[in-house]
Amino acid sequence: MTPLLPRRSPPLFAMVDCNNFYVSCERVFDPSLWGAPVVVLSNNDGCVIARSNEAKTLGIAMGEPAFKRERFFRANGVRVFSSNYALYGDLSRRVMEILATFSPDLEIYSIDEAFLRIDGLPFRDALAFARTIRETVTRWSGIPVSVGVAETKTLAKIANRKAKKDTDCEGAYVLPAPGVERDVLLEALDTRDIWGVGRRYATMLAKNGIHTARALRDAPDPFVRRTMTLTGLSTVLELRGKSVLALEDAPPAKKAICSSRSFGRPVTSLAELQESVSAYVSRAAEKLRAQRSVAGRLTVFVQTNPHKDEPQYSNGRDMVLPHPTAHTPTLVRAARELAQGIYRLGYRYKKAGVLLTALEPAEGRQLPLLAAGGDGSTALMDVLDRANAKWGRGALQVAAAGLGRPWQMRQAHKSPRYTTRWDELPEVW
């Protein structure tokens, strides 16, 4: 890890964004995909959620239902993949580990984005340093990235957008100093494309004659505070070059955890419905323990397919747990009980899910006097999590979650989990 030199003022941020991340992950292990139109589909092979540049050129839009484009895909040689989150998550981890070698101040913003604070690092040319980051990540992981550099996180996002969309930048761009060149760049950026300004605020700003990032930057503070609250004012201050959004060393713990999927085929029996919610609550419990939390309330919900001309039904039921827990068997028993309570014979269920709420830190939970021993062995859950971390998710699981799972989502075009499963390692002949 590069040692820090004394901090400069103002700070300097690099925003690193993986290009077409899901598609790039698929290309790492299949060179034949380079130059070809590629799309990745959502759960159950439903909609397009990632596109290569070649696919974008063909006019394939984000969110398009895949079944409506099947003939077009075949006619244009579009390579189609089911989402492979095990692969994407592992390659994301590798990219973030590489970025951490450049700066100890790293915020993992999403699966394919990260901020680095780079002031104080031993470089003379920020653009050359950004190019070094880009080249190193691409060479070591196979994932192409774009890097934008500026004195605030918001401006770094704008610089990253320029690096990605302007081919002359070759994937790296440093925002120019305040002046005419920066003003021209901000004038060309619609408010809808500013990080932190959503569609609702953009519509409101347009009604008030503010259409560009430059106009928003120059808007009066009282107007911004009144119409966009302090959060909007923070965005405006960042556009002016004042850093007010610090790096987050770790993402804040979630206040609720949901695990839900559409079924690969309609579910009609109680046994399969209970099996599915057992699997979903097991996954939710794993996430709960990962953030060192426990849950005090569990909700289970089901629904039929509203797009089918058949009897419709949806329902949900929740339960306040005897005491906050992250113990998988306890949550599975509760989820199965709730599923039984809302199940109705004669319906074809399309989707089910679980929601864990009333979360609190595991260390500080309050147990009833007679429940001093908790709800099971913490050591057992530690063994479960370590086994699945080492051998792959699902290597060790509760029997109630099922084995064959004929109801699970469709993934007809899924690539192997090259980096997380021994039996799916790439073969070289």
Give average pLDDT by consecutive 10-residue segment, the chain, 429 residues. Answer: 50 95 94 94 86 95 91 95 89 94 91 93 91 96 96 97 94 96 96 92 95 96 94 94 84 80 89 93 92 92 90 93 92 95 94 91 64 61 88 82 74 75 74
What local confidence, expressed as pLDDT, does residue 2 receive? 45
CA dihedral 19, 414, 391, 258 (to 10 degrees): 80
What local confidence, expressed as pLDDT, does residue 365 receive? 58
Cβ atoms of residues 299 and 317 within 8 Å = yes
Cβ atoms of residues 141 and 30 within 8 Å = no
CA dist 367 → 46, 143, 254, 289, 333 (Å): 43, 47, 22, 17, 19
Cβ atoms of residues 302 and 343 within 8 Å = yes
What local confidence, expressed as pLDDT, does residue 3 receive? 43
CA dist 68 → 33, 65, 113, 290 (Å): 23, 6, 31, 39
Record the pTM.
0.74
Per DSSP, the three-state class of 350 is: strand
Residue 414's closest CA among 43, 18, 109?
43
What local confidence, expressed as pLDDT, does residue 249 receive? 62
Domains of the chain (ranges, CATH numbers): 18-153 (3.30.70.270), 257-362+377-401 (3.30.1490.100)
Per DSSP, the three-state class of 357 is: strand
What local confidence, expressed as pLDDT, does residue 264 receive? 84
What amino acid is encoded at 370 in this protein? L
What local confidence, expressed as pLDDT, does residue 405 receive? 75
Residue 20's closest CA among 65, 68, 60, 72?
60
DSSP string, 229-294: HHHHHHHHHHHTT----PPPSSPPPPS-EEEEEEEEEEE-SHHHHHHHHHHHHHHHHHHHHHTTEE
DSSP string, 167-234: GGGTTEEEPPPTTHHHHHHHHTSBGGGSTT--HHHHHHHHHTT--BHHHHHTS-HHHHHHHHHHHHHH
